[in-house]
Amino acid sequence: MSSDESVDSEDVSEERSAVAPSLEALGWREEFSRAYAEWSIAGTLCARVLSERRGVLFLAAEAGELQARVPGRILNAPRAEQPVVGDWVVVSPGEGEDPGIVEGVLPRQTVIARQGAGRATHRQTIAANVDTVFVVMGMDGDFNLRRLERLLVVAWDGGAQPVVVLNKLDLAPDPEGKRAAAEAVSAGAPVVGLSALEGREIEVLDPYLIPAQTVALIGSSGVGKSTLINQLAGHEVARTGEVRERDDRGQHTTTHRELLRLPCGSLLIDNPGIREVAGFDAAAGLARAFNDIEELAAGCRFGDCTHRQEPGCAVLAAVEEGDLDASRFAHYQELEKEQAAQRARTDVQARSNTKRRWKEIHKAMRKHPKRRWD
């Protein structure tokens, strides 16, 4: 990253904090008011998380932007309880320039979650309070219907409404064909095509860019999420391209915001953590993303039909007759298997947690033999 670019992002943040938006403009809702009313810590305020770096949050509040530290009590809590971009947090502000202290996270309306990396069994929330998810995919070599299905499962599972954004229209030899193919697997989610780089057809997003509503962009690296955000913002607010994103990690990017407010008042989340969304346990999202198959399954002769070889299977019949695409069905089965495996791993982990807790209790009992535990 060249030095003038980092200056650029400084300028942007200053501009933004000069005009402090109301909490409503930042996405505040009635539900948060109700949750906050239960907090009895005097002198606290509510703020929205713009980004998070090593236990320090960059926040937007009614009085402007501020920073706050996440205390050990919260850092040591289960991962799902830790603040992420888009969250609303309760903060005790610091004196003068000192960062504030995060007291807690208000209950989330929606989430974008993925399964933890490697053998981790916990779900990792990567963004919160998202109304709309732009599922971004390139119409170039990146175009992949199976990946699209997977991303739609993730979007729906967290409670947000997905919109499929097919980018790189300028590189697509057959954009209408791509669009039709995407529509066939999108289970009712709108599908739009545009070129973020050229700004072509960008206005197709207007209906989804609503003031005070939050849009998160998900999709593989390189599909043009940051380019799209810059195009919508009208100037460079997000870093684009592989090389610079890698630079990002090595440098002090304290002014980098993942949640941005567009001139139209809509809120956008460009989170590097949302790039890869792998292996998950997302039953609700799976059912929604493949509602065509779930509907067919209602017509199977047996209630517990696995759609493999049972007589009277309506799903297999649909594949046979060409009403259901065989590769879509195969992918559905694959995701279902993945999910069952994930659930089994989670169960094992839950059992060992219980065992560990009891061990600790027994140890404590030995230490305090006179204490009553009933």
Ligand X SMILES: Nc1nc2c(ncn2[C@@H]2O[C@H](COP(=O)(O)OP(=O)(O)O)[C@@H](O)[C@H]2O)c(=O)[nH]1
Q: Which does 82 bind (CB under 5 to 8 A by kind): Zn ion, ligand X, Mg ion, none?
A: none
Quick check: 170 binds ligand X (CB under 6 A)?
A: yes
Q: Which does 171 bind (CB under 5 to 8 A by kind): Mg ion, Zn ion, ligand X, none?
A: ligand X
Instruction: State the nearest-atom distance from the C-beta of 187 to Zn ion, in Å.
Output: 19
**Stretch near Mg ion under the rule CB under 5 A, chosen from 21-29, 88-96, 219-227, 325-333:** 219-227
Quick check: 329 binds Zn ion (CB under 5 A)?
A: no
Q: Which residues lie closer than 8 Å to 18 by C-beta, 6 or more apart?
A: none
Cα distance between residue 128 and residue 86, in whole Å: 5
Q: Dmax over Cα atoms in the chain, in whole Å?
A: 79
- Scanning the chain, the segments in alpha helix (DSSP H) are 3-18, 30-37, 72-75, 145-157, 175-185, 225-233, 242-250, 283-289, 291-297, 314-320, 326-367
Q: Exactly one of 110, 226, 255, 266 binds ligand X (CB under 6 A); which one?
A: 226
231 to 250: interface string for ligand X, x by CB under 6 A: ---------xx---------
Cα distance between residue 275 and residue 258, in whole Å: 13
Other CB atoms within 10 Å distance of the CB of residue 28:
20
Cα distance between residue 135 and residue 148, in whole Å: 8
Phi, psi of 144 (to 5 degrees): -155, 110
Quick check: 167 binds ligand X (CB under 6 A)?
A: yes
From the list 281, 262, 158, 290, the residue with the least C-alpha distance to 206 is 262
Angle between helices 175-185 and 145-157 (to 10 degrees): 50
Quick check: 305 binds Zn ion (CB under 5 A)?
A: yes
Cα distance between residue 129 and residue 105, in whole Å: 12
What's the Rg (C-alpha) of the chain?
23
Q: Exactly one of 68, 182, 232, 315 binds Zn ion (CB under 5 A); which one?
A: 315
Q: Exactly one of 155, 182, 191, 196 binds ligand X (CB under 6 A); which one?
A: 196
First to last CA, the chain: 62
Q: Which does 261 bind (CB under 5 to 8 A by kind): Zn ion, ligand X, Mg ion, none?
A: none
**Count of residues in contact with ligand X, rule CB under 6 A:** 17
Q: Which does 307 bind (CB under 5 to 8 A by kind): Zn ion, ligand X, Mg ion, none?
A: Zn ion
Instruction: State the nearest-atom distance from the C-beta of 195 to Mg ion, in Å.
Output: 16
* 8 Å CB contact between 241 and 272: no
Cα distance between residue 83 and residue 79, in whole Å: 9
Cα distance between residue 51 and residue 67, in whole Å: 10
Instruction: State the nearest-atom distance from the C-beta of 27 to ligand X, in Å.
Output: 22
Quick check: 51 binds Mg ion (CB under 5 A)?
A: no
Instruction: State the nearest-atom distance from the C-beta of 272 to Mg ion, in Å.
Output: 7
346 to 365: interface string for ligand X, x by CB under 6 A: --------------------
Name the token pair of 367: 């230490």
Instruction: State the nearest-atom distance from the C-beta of 175 to ligand X, in Å.
Output: 11
| C-beta closer to ligand X: residue 123 or 168 | 168
| C-beta closer to ligand X: residue 61 or 209 | 209
Q: Exactly one of 114, 150, 168, 288 binds ligand X (CB under 6 A); which one?
A: 168
Instruction: State the nearest-atom distance from the C-beta of 87 to ligand X, in Å.
Output: 22
Cα distance between residue 331 and residue 184, in whole Å: 14
Instruction: State the nearest-atom distance from the C-beta of 261 to ligand X, in Å.
Output: 19
**Stretch near ligand X under the rule CB under 6 A, chosen from 5-13, 72-80, 121-129, 190-198:** 190-198
* Nearest residue to the partner ligand X, using Cβ: 224
- List contacts with Mg ion (CB under 5 A): 225-226
Q: What residue ranges bind ligand X (CB under 6 A)?
A: 167-168, 170-171, 195-197, 219, 221-227, 240-241
